[in-house]
Structure 1
Amino acid sequence: MSQPTNIFQSKQKQARTGHLNQLVHQVGYWQKLSQQIQPILPQPENWQIACYQHGVLIITGENQAMISQLGYLQQHYVAQLALLPAFKDLQKIQVRLRITKEPVIIQPQQEAHPVSIETQQMLQGAAEFINDSKLSQAMRRLASVIK
């Protein structure tokens, strides 16, 4: 009996890295362009090109103030960058915030240390002398919570 043939399988072994090589090449090109635009754009900032296609340059930065400045003065920077040979067809700049820092994880607070009965009485006594009703009520709650 003969072996079944898979008609969908290519007869030639193709390298599975074809698109990966193209992507690596493109990212390398964008990194070179990032070095070229760095001195032209507002400083101090580490600008990185995320994409450049069809006359639209997408840039990322870490500082929101610099991003806003670049967005506000976009036409000025488009004109300056268009003088470079790599950006001769540049029409528009889009700027995005790049987050590089890890998010801060807030740890749950430890249990409050017990306070003496004298301190509780002092808080309650102070609450009686305060004219502001909300502040007075907050001090009474604080005295009743602390144990």
Structure 2
Amino acid sequence: MFQPTNIFQSKQKHVKTGHLNQLVQQVAYWQKLTQRVQPVLPQPENWQVACYQHGVLIVTGENQAMISQLGYLQQHYVAQLMLLPEFKDLQKIQVRLRVEKRPVAIVQESPTLPVETQQMLQNAAEFINDPKLSQAMLRLASVIK
């Protein structure tokens, strides 16, 4: 019997990485740049390079005062960083606030209604002609305990 051939299927066996290797290299490069800029930029701050393309260096920091200082004295820091070979074409620094993500433990206590209020809601639900509103009031009386 004749087997149809799929002309759109690639003959080569290859693993699709979705440019993962390129992204890994780029992140490693930015980590290297972070180590180079850290001692030059205002201290104390944990600066991180977010991007460096087309002469624009984007760094992030957690301290708003240090970010403002870097913004005001940008030309000074651009001149210092241009002395490093990695930043010979540096034109400008953009600074972004990095929000430190801290795990927040949320303790949610269920609100309590007095028994009298629950009974009043149940009684009111009996007198309401709208079935959806009546059901909602009964759910409110039964859920909140």
TM-score by shorter chain over 0.5: yes
Structure 2: unaligned runs, 5 residues or longer = 112-145
Q: For residue 29 of structure 1, what is the amino acid of its counterpart?
A: Y
Number of residues of Structure 1 aligned to a counterpart in Structure 2: 111
Q: For residue 100 of structure 1, what is the amino acid of its counterpart?
A: E
1:59 pairs with 2:59: yes
C-alpha distance in 1, partners of 2:110/2:12?
Answer: 65
Local SS of the residue matching 1:51: strand
Q: Which residue of 2 aligns with 1:26?
A: 26
For residues 67-99 of structure 1, the C-alpha deviation after alignment (integer angstroms, 9 at most, x for no partner) is 111111111111110110000000011111111
For residues 12-48 of structure 1, the C-alpha deviation after alignment (integer angstroms, 9 at most, x for no partner) is 1222126111110111111011001101000111101
1:85 pairs with 2:85: yes
Instruction: Return 33-42 or 5-14, whichever deviates more.
Output: 5-14
TM-score computed with the length of structure 2 as normaliser = 0.68
C-alpha distance in 1, partners of 2:22/2:110?
Answer: 53
C-alpha distance in 2, partners of 1:44/1:23?
Answer: 29
Local SS of the residue matching 2:19: helix
**% of aligned pairs identical?**
79
For residues 119-142 of structure 1, the C-alpha deviation after alignment (integer angstroms, 9 at most, x for no partner) is xxxxxxxxxxxxxxxxxxxxxxxx
C-alpha distance in 2, partners of 1:19/1:96?
Answer: 26
TM-score computed with the length of structure 1 as normaliser = 0.67
**Distance verdict in 2 for CA 1:18–1:110, change over 3 Å:** closer
Local SS of the residue matching 1:39: coil
The Cα of 1:4 is off from its aligned counterpart by 2.7
Structure 1: unaligned runs, 5 residues or longer = 112-147
Q: For residue 63 of structure 1, what is the amino acid of its counterpart?
A: N
C-alpha distance in 2, partners of 1:89/1:97?
Answer: 24
**Distance verdict in 2 for CA 1:29–1:4, change over 3 Å:** same
Instruction: Report the aligned-residue RMSD.
Output: 2.1
Instruction: Return 18-27 or 41-50, whichever deviates more.
Output: 18-27
**Distance verdict in 2 for CA 1:103–1:83, change over 3 Å:** same
